[in-house]
Structure 1
């Protein structure tokens, strides 16, 4: 639904009636309906192209355009990664999901390497992934995991087993 529907629903007034355009070729202010008194439009943060359910708070708010594009980008990379790269990504994801667990820290240390050569594309992708992930809120992170699960449920099952395996371990 459009923003206009939300505005009209929020007030108990009838929607404004459109007047036929005047005979001049360009519209004038008189051609537009008047704004109901006391009506304040929502901020830009609250505008979306989603159903009324999300606006009413029954569903999570939609992702921002930037976050959605970042997530699509990471998913695209993920789908092109080799098995070894996906395993490295899994370890990185586990480290982000349960930060501070010694078992994930030790596994992350095993992936560190000192090189004289510049980073490869995969390493650059992981750096961008980390920057983006850190800027996402919890809901956006969960949304990414849901999108990833739709594409590769086996990978996400491994992730959940890995998270469960850290329970009770320091």
Structure 2
């Protein structure tokens, strides 16, 4: 049975994730939250800062995040759900925290519109 390119991409991201430091996983968490709750302006500024590469080439981690973003944009909803299932298997605590953060942001966005 042949493996699809999307399945290979998902496997690659899961493999990278397993080798990332806690800080890198935190940056990835922000990236995932941005994708789940795109109206999160604070995270947008954080992402712009993260992508700001001064006089040095991007790190392997930054390249991995860019590839992940490119791939994620082409994945179907089913592919994205399959990715999250595999990520949950790889690190249940990470996905539980992600779910919690998304829920809090969604509540904040629903309840806090116009507040400030």
Normalising by the smaller structure, the TM-score range is 0.7 to 0.9
Aligned to 2:6: 67
CA contact (8 A) 2:51 2:62 kept: no
Superposed CA deviations along residues 90-124 of structure 1, whole A, max 9, x for unmatched, are 00000011112224324434534341111111111
* 2:28 matches 1:89: yes
Give the unaligned 5+ runs of structure 2. Answer: none
Root-mean-square deviation over aligned CA pairs: 1.7
Deviations 1:15-66 (A, max 9, x none): xxxxxxxxxxxxxxxxxxxxxxxxxxxxxxxxxx6xxxxxxxxxxxxxx711
Distance across 1 between alignment mates of 2:40 and 2:24: 22
**For the pair shown, which has the larger CA radius of gyration, 1 or 2?**
1
Q: Which has the higher helix share?
A: 2
What whole-Å deviation, never above 9, does each CA across 1:72-94 have from its counterpart, x for those lacking one? Answer: 00000000000000000000000
Report runs of 4+ in structure 1 exceeding 6 Å deviation.
none
TM-score (norm 2): 0.84
- Bigger relative contact order, structure 1 or 2, given CA contacts below 8 A and separation 6+? 2
Count of residue pairs brought into register by the alignment = 108
In the alignment, which residue of structure 2 is the partner of 1:116? Answer: 55
Residue in 2 aligned with 1:17? Answer: none
TM-score (norm 1): 0.59
User: What does 1:100-111 correspond to in 2, within 5 Å?
Assistant: 100-111=39-50
Displacement of 1:165: 1.3
| Structure 1 segments unaligned to the other structure (5+ residues) | 1-48, 50-63
Q: Contact 1:103–1:166 at 8 Å: present in 2 too?
A: no
